[in-house]
Amino acid sequence: MNKALLDPALREDSLCEGLVLSGFGGFYQVLTAAGEKTCKPRGRLQKDEGGIYPGDTVRLELLSATGEGGVDGMIIQVLPRFNQLQRPKVANIDQAVLVLAVDDPPTDWILLDKMLVMAAYNQISPLICFNKCDILSPEEKESFLKLVSPYQEVGIPLVLVSAIKGEGIDDLLSLLRGKISVFAGPSGVGKSSLLNRLYPELNLTTGKISQRLGRGRHTTRHVHIIRMEEDTFVADTPGFSLLDLPEALMLSQLPTLYPDFADHGSCRFDGCIHYKEPGCVVKQSVAEGLIDEARYNRYLKIYDELKDREVKYHD
């Protein structure tokens, strides 16, 4: 996150930088050192390809008096993005909170691994969040933590929480601080409940009603970036589509998106995809128990799925 833009010292005359929180109908809410401002893009910028996304850092010129339609300033430039998501549109995301339930619905491990691939592909740091830990007994919780330790061992942060009982929420909050985060995950795992717990003013619909209204409701909504604390921001929609593997993802890229496979030495062949090649240090490390076997087996499944897709693509 560009912290500099919240620094009042950056204010020079009427020119300043701001963080776009939301946009609708050609008007944008922009957070500046001088507070939240309603802005319009200046002339040509409006038609530029790419447009203006929530999460963008923009340069703007503040008007000396609030103009027509309550406009406080004009956006004159969108600064380069370090990443962007398309559905829904949002830019410069620091962190994706990948939410799953410990049960009900049962943890979908392959989906978790696909979301991790998606996050790595988009250069967004992942945070794994297992919700509904209140339904586990202390013994079950212990064995669940063992089950998920391979993720922590490769440096992926992980929290066990209960949106209903409040357990782990402080840990989650401290991992959100200083960042712009989005929440992603399948339906029914408690994403809306978590966002409501963190920021009650959101008042998102949860449970069966929201499921019946369908995911479309979330995904077609305009994203608002909510300032939860001084420098803690979350997107107010639980519908981020990190669930499908990106269309542009190439087979050869897949192994590079696994932190698990780094630091085990070099395979015999350059560009080894750690599948059936001889002299593969990744396969060797799986055999030696240095890489989690279950996660490696899911990697092979994801690889096969991508391969099928490429075959279809080129037919």
Binding residues for ligand GDP, rule: CB under 6 A, are 131-132, 134-135, 162-164, 185, 187-193, 206-207, 210, 238
- 136 makes contact with Zn ion (CB under 5 A): no
Cβ distance to Zn ion smaller for residue 254 or 282: 282
What is the nearest approach in angstroms of ligand GDP to the Cβ of residue 98?
A: 12
> Computed from CA positions of residues 227, 184, 273, 277, in that sequence, does the dihedral angle turn out positive or negative?
positive
Cβ distance to ligand GDP smaller for residue 41 or 190: 190
Q: 119: buried, middle or exposed (CB in 10 Å: 19+, 13-18, 0-12)? A: buried
At 200, phi and psi to the nearest 5?
A: -55, -30
What is the nearest approach in angstroms of ligand GDP to the Cβ of residue 209?
A: 8
Binding mask 22-61 for Zn ion (x = CB under 5 A): ----------------------------------------
What is the nearest approach in angstroms of ligand GDP to the Cβ of residue 77?
A: 36
The DSSP 8-state label assigned to residue 243 in this structure reads S
Binding-site member from 239, 274, 296, 299 for Zn ion (CB under 5 A): 274
Q: Out of ligand GDP, Zn ion, none, which partner does residue 57 contact, by CB within 5 to 8 A per kind?
A: none
What is the nearest approach in angstroms of Zn ion to the Cβ of residue 266?
A: 9
Cα distance between residue 279 and residue 52, in whole Å: 48
Name the amino acid, one letter, at 26.
G
Cα distance between residue 254 and residue 121, in whole Å: 9
What is the full DSSP assignment across 286-306?
HHTTSS-HHHHHHHHHHHHHH
Task: List contacts with Zn ion (CB under 5 A).
Answer: 267, 272, 274, 280, 282
